[in-house]
Structures are given as structure tokens and as C-alpha cells.
Amino acid sequence: MYELARKHCGNQVAWKISLQNLKEKLGITSQMKLFRFNIKQITETNHLPEYNILIADDVIMFTRKEPPKENTAPSKLPKHVAKKEIEKQARPGESYEQAANRIKGLKDALK
């Protein structure tokens, strides 16, 4: 459950999922009422690392216990991206211009 919360919540503040969908994602085969009971027990103990769990009307909401860490750019980031680096980071089927724009966009987002 922690891994699902981490994957879907990511850097967001919260993530909501229905009880039925969570049951399917976790591969739980027990009855819904037993699964609901177990989730309520987890919400009461609140022992999931990094995330709080709330349940209301068969909707489960995972929230972060602390705000997400901010990504900061390295202090000595080069002004230009080298052609070799662009070719190395290009995805399959991506043109040179597409890769360059994507990498430059990521670099600008880190500023």
C-alpha cells in the first residue's frame, strides 16, 4: 500500500482512490467488508510511513505527512546543453530537436 501511495501521490499533496479500485490494485481477494475493516484499522493507527490515510464514503485519500521536497538545480549548472548529452538522453523515436527542447525545458524548470 505504501508503494502505491508513493507512486500515485508523487510530489502531489494528496491522492484519492475508491475502495474497490484500491482492492483491485492490491490484489486483495477477501470480502469488501473485511477489506474496509482492515483499511479503517490502518487509518486509526496511521502507521504508513510518509503518508496519512483517510477513508470517507468508500473513498481513500492518501496525504503526505510532510510537504514534498523541492527539487533544486545544482549550483554549477552549465548554460548550454551539449550535443553529446542531448543524443545520450534522447528517447527512442525522438528527434534531436524534440530531445533538445525536452532537456532544455527540464533545465529551465529546475531554475
- Residues 41-81: tens digit of each pLDDT: 988 888 888 888 888 888 998 888 876 665 555 555 566 66
More confident site: 88 or 50? 50
Task: Indicate whether 111 pLDDT > 70.
Answer: no
The whole-number pLDDT of residue 80 equals 67
CA distance from start to end of the chain: 34
Residue 36 makes CB contacts below 8 A (sequence gap 6+) with 19, 55, 58
The whole-number pLDDT of residue 71 equals 55
More confident site: 77 or 104? 104
In angstroms, the CA 4 to CA 6 distance is 5
Whether residue 15 contacts residue 62, with contact meaning beta carbons closer than 8 Å, is answered with yes
